[in-house]
Structures are given as structure tokens and as C-alpha cells.
Amino acid sequence: MVHDPFKDSASGNTLSAPPSPTDYMKDSIFRSFAYFCALSIILLVAYIVFELGSQALPAIKDHGLGFITGTTWDTNQNEFGVLPEIWGTLYSSLLALLIGGGLGVAIAIFLTQGFMHAKVEVMFRTIIELLAAIPSVVYGLWGIYVLIPLIRPAAHWLHETFGWFPLFSTDLSGPGLAPAALVLAIMILPTVAAISADAFRRIPYKVKEAAYGMGATKWEVILKVMLPTASSGILAGLVLGFGRALGETMALAMLIGNVNDISVSLFAPANTLASLLASTFPEAGQIEIQALMYASLVLLLITFVVNVAGLAVQQYTMRKFEGKK
């Protein structure tokens, strides 16, 4: 029986009644289920890390930190190093973040700040969300057959004219960092645009009103008020987009050239961790698989660090701009 001390003292004709035992039971069942779900996520992550770690253990013992600083990947000599892949992963993702992030935020502003009619806006939004639905292998094919031929003349010209500049120091021979980063930028663009647009839409109307009420022009309203107000949401979008770029595999394996070189040139072929894993696994022997497991641990660690750092920056902007603890 449910303990109800008020029943007797309340006026006789009240309809108030305590929750029934079944109500309480549903409550506790739902609570246990929620706890279970939350816990299983933590367990799953822990299990993945543990499994990867134990499979990679022989490689970790063999190569130690030299794995991270080494620059050759040679199965015959049992020499494994992923520095070029780490470099390629971070370089291509940062480039993609620069291009795709900038474009994504610009699109979000364009979509939400009253530049067009509501119906046109819905159409635009659908098209941008469609970008996210295109499989990455299709992006890869498009990159090979459309993008690379398209940017080759420009790349060639840049190399010929500004060859002394490190970014253009090599010619684009086919696959390379530039086409890979451009395709990555397009792939993360919908994520950044959608999340940033949500952040802009969440800004209460009264804030926009206040900005216009001060006599700000449209540009000033967007740049000085809306952008800082939406900044924590925009950052969340950028972090998610960057995370996606770090882990993107198929399109990159097709476009980046899979060459273990470290070069700042935009047109040089390179390699990324994810693309290394995808292209090496099918033919790998046992020793190499252990090394690949080690490489995937490194990728996991990079993604983790990026996410935590992103979260920290986001918390900081929230505290600074929105006064939240």
C-alpha cells in the first residue's frame, strides 16, 4: 500500500489520490531501463577500447612510441610508423574544416537571417541535408572523375606561378590532398550548416529585436550580435564536422593517393589513418593487423582529444557569452 498521510485530514470530497503501486512500479522500471541504456554505452566504449588495445598489445610492445614518430610502413622489414598518416589526417581535416566550416556557417546565416522567403528556405535546407545522404563512395567517384580533372588546370597554374610557396610546391598528378580536402569539406558542410542553423534559430526573437532597436544594420546585427550568441552551437557543429572529417574513410582512400609522405604541398598525395586501415586490412598478415590495431587506437585517441578540446572551448564560450556555469 502507498503511504498517504493526507487522505484522512483532507476535505471529504477531494478527488486527490496518491499514485497507485503500479504507477510507482512503472516509474522504477523506466528508471532502471534508462540507467541500463546509459551504462551499456559506457561499457560498449570501454569494451571497444579494451579489445583494440589487447589486439594491438604485441605491436605496442614491439614498436612503442616509435610507432607514432616513424615514417615508414613496411611489412617485409617489420617496420611500422604512422606519422605521415597522422599528419595527413590532421592536415586534410583541418583544411576541410576551414573550407567546409566557413561555408557551413555562411550557409546557416543565409538560411536563417531572413535573406529569402520561407518556402525557398525549406528547399535550400532539404538540398543541403541531401548532401549528407550521399554515400561516401559516390563522393569518391565524383572526386576522381569530376573534381580532379576540374581543379587540375588551376592547380597546375598555381604550381607554375607560385611554386616557391610551400603550399604549391608540387604539381597535382592525380589524387592528392587538395581534392581529398575539398570533398571532405563538402561532406562535413551539411553537418556544420544544419547545427549552426539550429543555433541561429534558437536565438530568441527579442535578441534580434534588441540589436535592430539599437540602430544596427543587418550586417552589424548578424556579425556583432547573432554570431556571438550562436557561437557555442556553431562550435558544436564544427567539432562534429571535424570529427567526421577525421574518421572519413572511403572517399579519402579513393582520393588522397595513399602515399606515406609528409608534405605541406596541397597538391602532393598523402595518406590518412582511416584510409590506411581501409586499404591495408584486406591483405594484412597477423603482424600487420596488430600494427593496424595500434593505428586505429591512435585514430581513436585523436578523435577523443579533438572532441574533449572542442567541448572545453564550447564550455568556455558558453561561460563567457551566456554566463552559464
Partner 1 sequence: MNMQTETGEFIAKKYEPKGPVVLDCYVKNIYYGDFRAVRDTTIPVEKNKVTGFIGPSGCGKSTVLRSMNRMNDLIDSFRFEGHIQYHDHDIYSKKVDAVIVRRYIGMVFQLPNPFSMSIYDNVAFGLRLNGYKGDEEEMVVKALKRAAIWNDVKDKLKNSGLSLSGGQQQRLCIARAIATEPDVLLMDEPCSALDPIATRQIEELMVELKQHYSVALVTHNMQQAMRVADVTAFLGVDISNGGRTGYLVEMDDTKKIFEDPQQLLTKQYVRGEFS
**What is the nearest approach in angstroms of partner 1 to the Cβ of residue 205?**
9
Q: What is the C-alpha to C-alpha distance for residues 236 and 196, in angstroms, rounded to an integer?
A: 8
Q: Outline where DSSP puts E strands in 176-255.
A: none
Going by C-alpha positions, the residue among 255, 231, 249 that lies closest to residue 310 is 231
From residue 200 to residue 229, the character string flagging contacts with partner 1 as x (rule: CB under 8 A) and all else as - is ----x-xxxxxxxxxxxx--x---xx--xx
**What is the nearest approach in angstroms of partner 1 to the Cβ of residue 239?**
19
Angle between helices 83-96 and 286-317 (to 10 degrees): 40
Nearer to partner 1, 51 or 209 (CB): 209
Nearer to partner 1, 154 or 223 (CB): 223
**What is the nearest approach in angstroms of partner 1 to the Cβ of residue 116?**
12
**What is the nearest approach in angstroms of partner 1 to the Cβ of residue 320?**
7
From residue 46 to residue 65, the character string flagging contacts with partner 1 as x (rule: CB under 8 A) and all else as - is --------------------
Single-letter amino acid, residue 87: W
Q: What is the C-alpha to C-alpha distance for residues 68 and 59, in angstroms, rounded to an integer?
A: 12
Q: What is the C-alpha to C-alpha distance for residues 115 and 87, in angstroms, rounded to an integer?
A: 40
Nearer to partner 1, 109 or 186 (CB): 109
Nearer to partner 1, 45 or 223 (CB): 223
User: What is the Cβ-side half-sphere exposure of residue 12, based on CA atoms within 13 angstroms?
Assistant: 0
Nearer to partner 1, 225 or 252 (CB): 225
79-80 and 73-74 as β-strands: parallel, antiparallel, unpaired? antiparallel
**What is the nearest approach in angstroms of partner 1 to the Cβ of residue 152?**
45
Q: Dihedrals φ, ψ of 114, to 5°?
A: 70, 35
Going by C-alpha positions, the residue among 64, 137, 80 that lies closest to residue 260 is 80
**What is the nearest approach in angstroms of partner 1 to the Cβ of residue 212?**
6
Ranges within 94-123 binding partner 1 (CB under 8 A): none
Residue 319 interacting with partner 1 (CB under 8 A): yes
Going by C-alpha positions, the residue among 187, 182, 195 that lies closest to residue 310 is 195
Q: What is the C-alpha to C-alpha distance for residues 233 and 96, in angstroms, rounded to an integer?
A: 19
Report how many residues bind partner 1 under the rule CB under 8 A.
25
Nearer to partner 1, 207 or 309 (CB): 207
**What is the nearest approach in angstroms of partner 1 to the Cβ of residue 235?**
13
Q: Which residues are at the interface with partner 1 (CB under 8 A)?
A: 204, 206-217, 220, 224-225, 228-229, 231, 319-324
